[in-house]
Structure 1
């Protein structure tokens, strides 16, 4: 694949090279969307959850809102074919944290108070954002 791109560039056809790359990305993207169509996250709960995080441990925060193990991922995104994947994060020191459960935070995985907004409070739990 890189040989084809290099050959196209030596001919002086940079536009053709860019078009080739765009087509490859688009084909992969359409294949990915076929198997994992992107769905919107759903509101797991309308309030955050306080947890204790251990230093050096990697956590997977549920992005889709469908996990039965909130706020952590249990693989529901895969089985329900959401196209969404968990957010992996690690903390430097042992500490308590407040993790978002409405899935609308602007500072994932931490709560930023978005759950207090009228949009979230008027929506039903389990409904898409």
Structure 2
């Protein structure tokens, strides 16, 4: 087998495909996580702080998450959510308690359907 002939073909093919995408963040989802009733909270250490995000464990016709923690107080967009659909990841710094309250709109009002909290270090 002539390796000198194969290497240029591989290099040209890789160049046509564009940069390699690994599909994941550059850090592990290595922070604490937890679930409470119908909501799960996840965190990841980023080297400059942490990220927090949430998901509903059930399908929600209309709802949102309120994610709070050190340096963090955000609401996800209001709308329909599939079970297991991750919210946006929110960046923050600090240590202490991080929480994600899930809210669902039904019967003419908002109802809390879970409030998991973890301690970020």
TMscore range, shorter length = under 0.3
Give the strand-richer structure, 1 or 2: 2
The structure with more helix, counted as a fraction of residues: 1
